[in-house]
Amino acid sequence: MTDFSTQLSKYIPTEAAPIISRWINDTNCRFKITRSRSSKLGDYRAPYRGNTHQITVNHDLNRFSFLITTIHEFAHLRTWQEHKHRVKPHGTEWKENFKVMMQPFLKLNIFPNDVVLAVSNYMSNPAASSCTDLQLYRVLKNYDLLDSPVHTVEELPENSIFQLKNGRTFQKKEKLRKRYKCIEIDTNKIYLFHPIAEVTPLNANI
């Protein structure tokens, strides 16, 4: 049995690493640390055509975000083991597994008080990702260590110009229900952005 604790400790609190290492071994999961993805923090893929379980987590998450995202994805794995594709991805079964699997880490006292409170609130009704719960997301973002400040679409004034990591440029327009209407400068096409999508402002005074 391979001990992944040392490698995992680069991304999550050291005390939590042995538990995650054990989960990887017990499930024979292919655990991959990936490039940053703006669309998701992590991902779970069920076994298919002889492949094993696969979990991917973005490399640039802070230690608490990385750990919570990892637990989130392992809850998907356990739910698949118990129910295969017979239940909803974030249905009652997944929510119960997430709550149970979160408990050992809360007992380790590795989270700051504000994260514990936000996680407790989130656990009362877990959602698709930690990004979906704005309160938890904002608390976790306080622990990001970046060379330059990160801004979100909701922070920008209307009509301001912003850029994505891939270089595409947009102009922010009005909010439509839960997302913001934005126009791509080069194509004039309309896209809907999540309020907490991370962007680089080009002409906004933030």
pLDDT, one tens digit for every residue, the chain (206 residues): 889 999 999 999 999 999 999 999 999 999 999 988 777 889 999 998 888 999 999 998 999 999 999 999 999 999 999 999 899 888 889 999 999 999 999 999 999 999 999 888 888 877 655 555 677 888 888 888 655 567 889 989 999 999 988 889 999 999 998 899 999 999 999 999 988 888 889 875 55
Place of tokens 């656990």: 123
Task: Supply the pLDDT for residue 129.
Answer: 57
Q: Spell out the residues 6+ positions from residue 12 whose beta carbon is closer than 8 angstroms to its own.
A: 20, 63, 66, 67, 70
- HSE, CB side, 13 Å, CA atoms: give it for residue 4: 19
Q: Spell out the residues 6+ positions from residue 84 whose beta carbon is closer than 8 angstroms to its own.
A: 46
C-alpha 203: how far from chain center: 28
Say yes or no: 106 and 134 in one domain.
yes
In which domain, by residue range, is 175 found?
Answer: 151-201
Task: Supply the pLDDT for residue 149.
Answer: 65
- HSE, CB side, 13 Å, CA atoms: give it for residue 21: 18
Task: Supply the pLDDT for residue 101.
Answer: 97
C-alpha 180: how far from chain center: 20
Q: Which of 112, 141, 170 is where one domain is finished? A: 141
The verdict on residue 146 lying in a domain is no
Q: What is the CA radius of gyration of the chain?
A: 18
Task: Supply the pLDDT for residue 128.
Answer: 56
CATH number of the CATH domain containing 194: 2.30.30
The verdict on residue 163 lying in a domain is yes
Say yes or no: 117 and 175 in one domain.
no
Q: Which of 141, 164, 187 is where one domain is finished? A: 141
Give this prediction's pTM: 0.73
Task: Supply the pLDDT for residue 40.
Answer: 82
Say yes or no: 133 and 49 in one domain.
yes
Taking the C-alpha atoms of residue 80 and residue 173, their distance in angstroms, rounded to an integer, is 40
Task: Supply the pLDDT for residue 148.
Answer: 58
For residue 168, which amino acid is it? R
Say yes or no: 30 and 90 in one domain.
yes
Task: Supply the pLDDT for residue 147.
Answer: 52
Task: Supply the pLDDT for residue 73.
Answer: 96
Strands (E), 50-110: 54-58
Q: Spell out the residues 6+ positions from residue 139 whose beta carbon is closer than 8 angstroms to its own.
A: 114, 115, 117, 118
Task: Supply the pLDDT for residue 127.
Answer: 63
The verdict on residue 206 lying in a domain is no
Say yes or no: 179 and 110 in one domain.
no
CATH number of the CATH domain containing 121: 3.30.2010
The verdict on residue 71 lying in a domain is yes
The total number of structural domains that make up the chain: 2
Give the DSSP letter string of 140-189: HHTT---SS--EEGGGSPTT-EEE-TTS-EEEEEEEETTEEEEEETTT--
Say yes or no: 86 and 187 in one domain.
no
Helix axes 17-27, 63-83, angle to 10 degrees: 30
